[in-house]
Amino acid sequence: MTAPASKQEQLQATLQSLRTSLPELRGALVATVDGLPIAQTFSDSTDSNRVAAMAATALGLGKRINDTLGTGELTEMSVSGLDGQVYVYATGRKGVLAVVTPSGMNLGLLHMEARDAARTVALVL
């Protein structure tokens, strides 16, 4: 009988599945709401510690904006640049999923796959 996979292994598998579904992604990361990285799939020298901290900070700021404006519970947010976007998804109360994409990505497919991944992450955490 095989031992159940650890939380980190489950999260890493979720991110790998996301990368398989969306091979053009530049990277994806799961972090705690405190900004500590848990799992990531960046293929370059991206500093996952910094990305985790910034994603958690963005999530916290987004929640404060939504609370202030009365727009309900934050589910996701985005930051756009000339060469790509970063999408940050809430994953329950314990974590955050950050996805880095190039410009011109199919956003319908991205959101469908990333929202599924965020739900999976929430269940694992």
- Which residues span the domain enclosing 66? 7-124
- Residue 96: helix, strand or coil by DSSP? strand
pLDDT category of residue 3 using cuts at 50, 70 and 90: low
Is 85's pLDDT higher than 90? yes
pLDDT tens digit sequence for 23-36: 999 999 999 999 99
Strand partners, 27: 100
How many domains are there within the chain?
1
- Here the CATH number for the domain that contains residue 88 is 3.30.450.30
1, part of any domain: no
- The reported pLDDT for the residue numbered 5 is 82
102, part of any domain: yes
2, part of any domain: no
**Cα–Cα distance, 9 to 30 (Å, whole number):** 12
**Cα–Cα distance, 10 to 55 (Å, whole number):** 20
119, part of any domain: yes
